[in-house]
Amino acid sequence: MSQAEVQYRIHNGNAWLTLNNECARNALSPEMLRELDARLDQAAADPDARSVVLTGAGEAAFSAGADIAYLSAAAPAEVRAYARTAVALTEKIEAMDKIVVAAINGHALGGGLEIAEACTFRIAVQGARLGHPEVRIGAVAGFGGTSRLPRLVGRTRATELLLTGDTITAEEALTMGLIHRAVSADMLHSACEELLTRVHAGAPHALRLTRDALQRGMELPLDAALRLGANHFGLAAGAADFREGTAAFLAKRPPQWAQSQTAHDPAPEKGIAS
């Protein structure tokens, strides 16, 4: 295609990445997955981007999911490689130092929802439908849905959604905890940026450590997760942000965070995850 598969722009300090194949409801072709991977790398390295917002072109769909035309002609080994590429992409989203928000501007189905499930936050427009209809075409939620969905909404809800292939409204997704907000279409961009503004009122280093403790702690027994949280509290205390934050609290003034310090602060033993 002559046009970019994924558009990139900076707005209010955030990198907006737009899946850009509206005619195909932003279906995730192999080319789009590769370009999204490159755009995520671009956002990660961009000093003007404090966070990333991922959305879709048009109003109909965030992404309708995997490229069915591609799948129908692909050999099983090619499908497996395609899914592994998508899984690596979702892992990259989770592992980014920068917070990633899914601005779900329309339907998010199958692989499209799996991309959103890997994001730090999910905000959807009212009336959007979300779901995993893979079983209805003889497929499996192979981009991470069988693992992430139960972690987000619980095994009971996930079992029903994955095995029936039913879709749900944004309002239902909000009730079950799959998304964080359901807003009108004209408020989607501002809702994403307002949330990020509130998040970034916190100390950058503390945000990184908190996200890591949250993500890794979900995979650990409770006693190990508690020790991880205590360890990260100690790591936070060694950062300049901790001294500034506590001093500002005692002085009853707004803190002034050292935005550039995160590259030099102590990091968790096994890296930072989203």
Per the annotation, the verdict on 194 as an active-site residue is: no
Of 5, 35, 117, 134, catalytic? 134
CATH 1.10.12.10 residue ranges of the chain are 204-263
H helices of 46-187, where?
Answer: 68-73, 76-95, 111-117, 145-153, 155-164, 170-175
Of 94, 114, 117, 193, catalytic? 114
User: How far is 104 from 148, CA to CA, in rounded Å?
Assistant: 17
In this structure, whether the domain defined by 6-199 belongs to CATH 2.60.120.620 is answered with: no
CATH 3.90.226.10 residue ranges of the chain are 6-199
CATH, domain range 204-263: 1.10.12.10
Per the annotation, the verdict on 114 as an active-site residue is: yes
- From first to last of its 274 residues, the chain has per-residue pLDDT tens of 457 899 999 999 999 999 999 999 999 999 999 999 999 999 999 999 999 999 999 999 999 999 999 999 999 999 999 999 999 999 999 999 999 999 999 999 999 999 999 999 999 999 999 999 999 999 999 999 999 999 999 999 999 999 999 999 999 999 999 999 999 999 999 999 999 999 999 999 999 999 999 999 999 999 999 999 999 999 999 999 999 999 999 999 999 998 643 333 434 444 333 3
Whether 62 contacts 102, CB under 8 Å: yes
As a residue count, the chain comes to: 274
Q: What are phi and psi of 120, to 5 degrees?
A: -65, -45
